[in-house]
Every structure is written in structure tokens, then in C-alpha cells.
Structure 1
């Protein structure tokens, strides 16, 4: 039975049963001719779905909606959805994704294109594949050159904090002391901080999880000295987003006369300092919110870059050697 049009106010709607499915919807137009075409397209899609399977009419917008409703991370989805819109998922190939990433992020580097476009596009399509709505999509990602990331040290962070406002200095120490990403740090609210128990709940945006971070005494003191009414919903460090931090970050560095490092270097400093102090990799990954140990090792392989550590192969006590060298210096 073909779809029938009817009006609600000025807008035409359609309803009826096509290919065994009950269909109802709005054409979002007051033009009857256009409404008839829209209803005919809806009817054609219903028959295509019946004859060729649900994947034949599955749009990216439909897949993205299902992905969001499943509780998955929505980070970076807006630009991805704006690009693909109602493109049929069946028509999206791996090369299309790479071309689209360049178009949406023309000035970005390969890692940004991978993280902010390729990965979320692939995640939505493969979510639908897991529901047997379409085939899985494989995408050969942009090649990223691994660079050694320079970490902040405790001395650097202390110098920075001494030349920054109380909330900016505390933010720096918080990232260094907990391994928090800058986005996670600026999102911290007073309701997630317990200075008595020395804990903070960090909402890990990148991995879609939460973790409870321990606050060392130095960090408790820095946070306690932030002027605030401490309303549970207020942001602890008073910055709206990472961009607002960058606007004042370099000023503190200039005043402190220290090397220019990014806020993310504090997270690197957390990992490097822990590894240098012989904390095992699994513990560092867990406490710093890295999803897996392999990522941590790959990123921070330089942390134990001293070539003399190979002396331990022959039973040399590195700690004792260090003491001996200090005593003879």
C-alpha cells in the first residue's frame, strides 16, 4: 500500500505500510509536489531495505546516532558527522576517509587527522558492522613519525608555578602530579576533589573512562590555595578549555625564564619521572590513564635513555656506583 500524504498545519506528512513495515514521517515542507517526491523516496528506501538488506540504506547519520545512543565517546564526532551527513555507509571506502580527513583538517598533521577524523569515522562504521548492518571498514591511517617528547621536570613545574597565578600554577602541578591531560584537568570540578582524602576524580575524555588520582601533599597545598567558593559544579582551575590555558601559559614561562614547553609536557613529565624512579610500567600506565602499556612504552621509550644502564647485565650496582661517583666528585 503506497504512502499517503496528509497535512498538519502547513506541513505535509506521510504514513502507510511498505514492504511489511509501517512508515510515518514528516516531509518538512509545505510544497505538495516536493512532499510527494520525499514520500516516494522513503517508499523506495523501504523496498531497497527489504530486497537488499538493512545495510543498503544505512546512512552515516543513522550510524552516528546509533553510536551515540550506545554510550560511546562523542569526542570529535561533530565535524565527522557534518562531513558525511547522509552518505550511505556502503559507499564509504578507506581512501574516501583519508581524502575527507585532509579536506576537513587541511592544515593539521597526520596524527591529528588520524585521531580527530579517521578514528571516529571508522569507529562509527565498525559499530554498525558489529550490529550486522554493514561490513567492517579497514583504513590505512596516515603515517606518523614518532618524535621524542620532552618532559617537564619538577624543577620546571615549580619555577612555572612560582611565576603563574595560583590557579594556573596549580593546574601545571596537577598535570605533572597526576598525569592528567590538559582537557581532563580543565574539566575538573570541585565536586570531584576531596582534599581531606587527597583524591580527585579524573574524567578521561580520550578513553571514555574515569580514574581516581592520588594528590601528593604539594599538590593538595597548591589546590587549597586557589581562591574559590568551591561550589561542586565550578571548575577548579577556572579555565573554560585548553585554548584559554594556552593564552596565558607562555606568559608564565617567559616570566620564569624557563624553557618553552607545552602543557602536555607535564603529563610526559609524570610518566618519565615515574619510570626514572623504577615504578613499573603497568603501574605508571594505570595511574596516568594510559589505555595500554604498549602505548606508554612506545611514547616514553626515551625515559630510561641512559646507555650505561646496560652495566646491570654484568651485575653492576648502579645505585652504589652513583654514590661512589658522588663521594669522589
Structure 2
């Protein structure tokens, strides 16, 4: 049955109903003018027939692809911005070059990293998700060059000095970020029901990648959290700060009181990764423990060379026992 127009009793707006190639359709044209309503359903019929003849890619709009992406409960970070930019643009017309031009238009003065993260990544994620549903072809986009800077990590010694000059909640917050690798947003949003001091575990809700992970709580962190457990209320935040903005002034004051360099919240996360890498923990394990998206990201961001030129001493730092010396002397005489 082709699409037909009708008005509801007492209504002025034209609605349509019918079917196209077995698919039932009905809805509002949004107009009270019959000529416009007839044009509306004509274009609607053309669109659906074109989709049947040429495949879904012929009619797939970015807004539709984004809706599929949201229904899949994927990360929505920066998604609203690209949705506003592409709107109802046909996905088939969004090329690699078009995405790069969009990034430059939206962020004319930004770094390559910002353009990649805010525009290319979410746009590509939406389209490639649609591709996984056989709605379009996958999209590859050349990224803008990124200049990786060596990030300044805090050390355990810095953390201890900071904690000594802080109130118990701020001290525990700092200790938590350094010993679990949590982002500041993840740490501040930690709830008491997510903490088990007996099992030495905390559930961290990873805001950036939309996932969760269980973090081990070392003894020093258990002690720091135990110092604020008296304020515990179900549903309340562990470290009491509502946002990073409320914690930041106290953070700066603690650095000044301790007489130590000011490092940001995120430097604690840098310290977690850098310290583990320098202690010989492999990047794959570090990325898993700290909730990074990949071991490659950890290696590229935190795996910079150590400045200690005496590291070669570690090659011979195995304790030498008298028995081992005698054994090596015996081997030497035998070869001689």
C-alpha cells in the first residue's frame, strides 16, 4: 500500500501511513499545507526505495549512525560536538579529508592531539560502528602529528611530603591516585560502597573509557583511607570533594606548606605508570593496572628513557657468594 495522507479528527497537520516494499511507515509531515505534505511523502518514498536499490549506505546519515552508536552504550566523550557539526550529512560523503578539514575548522589553533581526540576519534568511532552493523563502509582517517612531551611524574617521596602537609582527606586522595593510577575525576567520584578495606580492593569507574576496573590497595593506602573512615556514609564520596575545582586550592596550599614543587593531580597518574615501568613492570601490565586503553599508549607516553647513566650496574647486581666464585673458578680451570 503506497503512502497516503490524512488528517486526524479536528487536526490541521497532515500525517502519512502506508508501506514501501513491505516496510510499514506512518508519521507526521509537520505541515498543514497539502502540497508540501505531498512533496514530503514523495521524497520519503524516494529515500526508502533508493535505500532498497543501492543499500543502506546510500541513505545513512551521520545523525542516524550516531544514534546507533549511543544505543550501543559506547563512550560519548566529545560525541555531541561532532553530532552538531555533521548533523544529517550522508555518511558516504564523510571522507578522510572531510574529517581533517572539520578538525581544522573546529579547532583552528589547537594542537594535533586535540584535533585527533576531539574530532577525528569520535567521528571515526561512530562511522566504524555503523560499518560493523553493515550499514556503511569503514573509514580510515590520517591523524594529525602529535608532539609527545615527557610528562613530569611525582615520586613516592613527593607523595609522602605532600601527605604530611595535607588534611587527611586530601592526603588520602593524593595517595590513592599515585598508588592506583586513578584519574582525578575517578578518584573524586569514588564511593564508600566501592571500597573494601578487608579485601584491599576498590572499584574504579573509569570515566574516560566508560569501563570499570578493580584496583589493589597497598598498605600505605589502606592506612590513609582508614584515617578518614570515621566520616563514612553510604552513598557518600570517600574523599569528600565535590569536584576537582574544590580540591585544587587545597592542593596548591599543601604543596606550598610542604615546600615541594607544585605538580597537578594528573602527575600522580604519571608517577604511577613511570614508577612501575622503571621498576621493570611491563607496559601491558601497567596499562591493565592503570586502566589505559593500550600498552602502546603507556609505552609512548611514559616509557621515556631514565636519566640515570649508572643503570648498567644493574646487569651485575646479583649478589656474589663464595660458592658461586669457586664454581666459576673451577669452570675457568677446566676450560684452560
* Counterparts of 1:303 and 1:135, CA distance in 2: 41
Matches within 5 A, 1:118-137: 118-137=120-139
For the Cα contact (< 8 Å) 2:172–2:225, is it kept in 1? yes
Is it true that 1:98 corresponds to 2:100 in the alignment? yes
User: Which residue is equivalent to 1:23?
Assistant: 25
Is it true that 1:139 corresponds to 2:119 in the alignment? no
User: Which residue is equivalent to 2:325?
Assistant: none
Aligned alpha-carbon RMSD (Å): 2.7
Q: What secondary structure sits across from 2:304 in the alignment?
A: helix
Displacement after TM superposition at 1:74 (Å) = 2.1
> CA separation of 1:207/1:95 partners in 2, compared to 1, >3 Å: closer, same or farther?
same
* 1:41 equivalent among 35, 43, 49: 43
Q: Deviations over 1:128-158 (max 9, x none)?
A: 1122211111111111011111101122223
User: Which residue is equivalent to 1:150?
Assistant: 152
Displacement after TM superposition at 1:29 (Å) = 4.8
93-102 or 27-36: bigger deviation: 27-36
173-182 or 38-47: bigger deviation: 38-47
* Counterparts of 1:14 and 1:165, CA distance in 2: 66
For the Cα contact (< 8 Å) 1:184–1:205, is it kept in 2? yes
User: Which residue is equivalent to 1:76?
Assistant: 78
122-131 or 291-300: bigger deviation: 291-300
Unaligned runs of 5+ in 1: 321-329
* Counterparts of 1:299 and 1:310, CA distance in 2: 24
* 1:117 equivalent among 106, 116, 119: 119
Q: Deviations over 1:59-99 (max 9, x none)?
A: 11111111122232222212222221211111111122122
Q: Deviations over 1:254-312 (max 9, x none)?
A: 34332222211101111122233333443323222223322222222226442332355
TM-score normalised according to structure 1 size: 0.85
For the Cα contact (< 8 Å) 1:192–1:232, is it kept in 2? no
Q: Of the two, which has the highest radius of gyration?
A: 2
Would you identify which runs of 4 or more consecutive aligned residues in structure 1 move more than 6 Å? Answer: none
> CA separation of 1:50/1:192 partners in 2, compared to 1, >3 Å: closer, same or farther?
same
Displacement after TM superposition at 1:182 (Å) = 2.0
> CA separation of 1:245/1:24 partners in 2, compared to 1, >3 Å: closer, same or farther?
farther
137-146 or 38-47: bigger deviation: 38-47
User: Which residue is equivalent to 1:160?
Assistant: 162
Unaligned runs of 5+ in 2: 321-336
User: Which residue is equivalent to 1:4?
Assistant: 4
Is it true that 1:263 corresponds to 2:234 in the alignment? no
213-222 or 24-33: bigger deviation: 24-33
Displacement after TM superposition at 1:180 (Å) = 1.0
For the Cα contact (< 8 Å) 1:275–1:304, is it kept in 2? no
* Counterparts of 1:112 and 1:242, CA distance in 2: 21
* Counterparts of 1:251 and 1:111, CA distance in 2: 31
200-209 or 78-87: bigger deviation: 200-209
For the Cα contact (< 8 Å) 1:311–1:318, is it kept in 2? no
